Amino acid sequence: MGARLLVAAALLLLQAAAWWYGNGPGWIVAVCGALVLISAAAVALPPVSARGGVGAPRWLLTVWADLGVFAVLQVFAPGNLNFTPLFVWPVLLAAVIGPRLLALGCAAAGTLTLLAAAWHDGRGALATAEWMQAGVTGSGLFIVAWLASHLTARLVGEHDAARRSQQLADLHRQINRLIATGLGEGIVVMAAGGAIWYANPAAARMVGVDLPASDPTREADDATGAGRWLRQTPAWPPLAAWARARLRRLSGPAPSGRPVPSSELTLPLPSGAQRRVRVRLHPLGAPQRPEAAVLFLEDLHAIEQRVRTEKLAAMGRISAAVAHEIRNPLAAIAQASALLHEDEATPAQRHLIGLIEQNVRRLNRTVDDVLETARIPWPDHQPPLPALPLDQAVDDALADWLRQRPQGARLQRDARAGEATIAFDPEHLRRVLVNLLDNADRHASAAAGAIRVETAVDGGQARLTVWSDGDDIPAPVREHLFEPFASSYSRSSGLGLYLSRELCQRYHADLSHERSPREGRPGNAFVIRLPAADATA
């Protein structure tokens, strides 16, 4: 529309100059001025959103207005002025922004106009040269209309295909970003020269960087942003040096079946610590001249943890099978020991029988723990449990335990839960408390108040604490405190704390360890926090 207005303004200037010098009538200037006004009005209209039909009102102010003005000039303008080249403009305009039928109609109208002008110039005579020129020009208009419409249709189709391809590429990019963001394996895409194109959040975590919480994928996906935060880490120089060295080795002839380069690196972290990672490099581009590479980072500590978890699962299955086989011989030993009690026995024999029974009970408890570990977890939907008074349940379990292991002043009880009740199976609560008390009895000193059992209410949460004044737990042991088969005590199965936490989680409770003092004495506290049904203290 802007080019159309420019053509109309140029035509107006030419006709105005001709009129000024007396070479043309004034009505031609008026017609050209009207064309300028119509073109300006067309520019002010909103752009064409789609190729409308032939009868759309828009074409009256564009194609047909141009064709009408040019027809008037061609037929009625005096002198030897020839406006034939202007007829190509409305035909092109119709072919580019309108349907093909409109372009062919404009070509037909232009051809009829030229024939009418030839008839008018010949004063009704069929002059062969003028009619031939009009016919050839009209044929050219039809050719221009068809070719321009065809090329425009192809251009529109290719534009639509490019837009669909771009949308599909954007969709694939979003999918790839989501997949890479959710992976636990670090991914870094870098150019052969060292420029960073992409890094996912897992790679950021492995080099010790916390991405912004608002939109970590946006920050990591931006090439400038990824290069900025990754290049500032102390882990990037050794990682980039390793990748560039491998890419240089891959620049030579590629042997068949060449393995993917991988190594184990120790990367420095911003905190001063170090992290061992396994790095794999996949080149991108030509085999002899890689243009980029994808680095895959795996945290070796996480791999070791997975291997440990798999080993623990296998050990659990084996232990459960062994426990089933041990139960029958233990039952036979316990029965034989009971029969020996019926006979007359010397004090030494009674002492030996007591040792047998004591070890049978300990083995039975270990077997029960192993089998409890191997049981299928409880379903999510459990029948409602009756409200259990916390202080009363703890006192009952504590009394049973003290009958077997008297403590005297060594154990102190601090009951501050009041009337608070909890949703917890009494037998399971007793097992958890007994496990914690056995652990405290094993590691506490013999001083008065070395073991404390405390209950309290904090808001809508009840709290049960078993504290002992034992030594601080070493960091390696503390990391695996609640894992199965993890124990620093040779006569323990290593399942007590693990089973206690599992039982607590069944009732939406949390069991944790913390180092806290009591009356100025440092000690270890195992705290159970659980929802209280009635928290009136």
Which range (66-80, 105-119, 286-300, 315-329) has the least confidence?
315-329
The pLDDT of residue 117 is 80
Same-domain check for residues 245 and 319: no
Closest Cα to residue 90, out of 110, 73, 75?
110
3 state SS of 460: coil
Closest Cα to residue 292, out of 255, 250, 257?
250
Count H helices, E strands: the chain?
Answer: 16, 12
Which range (203-207, 261-265, 481-485) has the least confidence?
481-485
Residue, of 79 and 393, whose pLDDT is higher: 393
Specify if 442 maps to a domain.
yes
Same-domain check for residues 446 and 510: yes
Domain count, the chain: 4
Residue, of 222 and 231, whose pLDDT is higher: 231
The encoded tokens of residue 473 equal 């737990």
Find out whether 422 and 388 touch, Cβ atoms under 8 Å.
yes
Same-domain check for residues 138 and 194: no
Q: What is the mean pLDDT of residues 476-494?
A: 65
pLDDT in tens, 332-360: 888 888 777 777 778 887 788 888 887 78
Q: What is the mean pLDDT of residues 294-317?
A: 80
pLDDT in tens, 174-195: 887 778 777 788 888 888 877 8
Residue 414 has pLDDT above 90, yes or no: yes
Same-domain check for residues 223 and 294: yes
- 287: confidence class by pLDDT, cuts 50, 70, 90: low
pLDDT in tens, 371-390: 665 664 555 556 677 788 99
- Backbone phi, then psi, for 386, in 5-degree steps? -65, 150
Proportion of the chain in helix, strand, coil states, percent, rounded to 5: 55, 15, 30
Find out whether 451 and 407 touch, Cβ atoms under 8 Å.
yes
Specify if 488 maps to a domain.
yes
Same-domain check for residues 127 and 214: no
Full domain range(s) for residue 410 = 388-534
Specify if 228 maps to a domain.
yes
Specify if 171 maps to a domain.
no
Residue 437 has pLDDT above 50, yes or no: yes
Query: What predicted TM-score, i.e. pTM, was given to this entire model?
Result: 0.47
- 398: confidence class by pLDDT, cuts 50, 70, 90: very high
Closest Cα to residue 429, out of 394, 460, 395, 467?
394
Q: What is the mean pLDDT of residues 490-505?
A: 73
Specify if 211 maps to a domain.
yes
Instruction: Count the alpha carbons within 13 Å of 435 in the hemisphere toward its beta carbon.
Output: 28
The pLDDT of residue 219 is 42
CA quadruple 458, 461, 462, 463: dihedral, nearest 10: -70
3 state SS of 294: strand
Same-domain check for residues 274 and 328: no
Query: Parallel, antiparallel, or unpaired: how do β-strands 461-468 and 524-534 relate?
Result: antiparallel
Residue, of 134 and 210, whose pLDDT is higher: 134
- Backbone phi, then psi, for 414, in 5-degree steps? -125, 100
The full DSSP string for 310-332 is HHHHHHHHHHHHHHHHHHHHHHH
Closest Cα to residue 320, out of 500, 495, 483?
495
The pLDDT of residue 396 is 92
Query: Parallel, antiparallel, or unpaired: how do β-strands 290-299 and 186-191 relate?
Result: antiparallel
- 167: confidence class by pLDDT, cuts 50, 70, 90: very high
Residue 85 has pLDDT above 60, yes or no: yes
Same-domain check for residues 126 and 91: yes
Query: Parallel, antiparallel, or unpaired: how do β-strands 421-422 and 524-534 relate?
Result: antiparallel
Same-domain check for residues 419 and 367: no
Residue that terminates a domain, selected from 116, 141, 158:
158
Same-domain check for residues 130 and 266: no
Please report how the helices 26-44 and 63-76 are oriented relative to each other, as an axis angle in degrees rounded to 10. Answer: 170
Specify if 130 maps to a domain.
yes
The full DSSP string for 409-456 is GGEEEEE--TT-EE---HHHHHHHHHHHHHHHHHHS-SSTTSEEEEEE
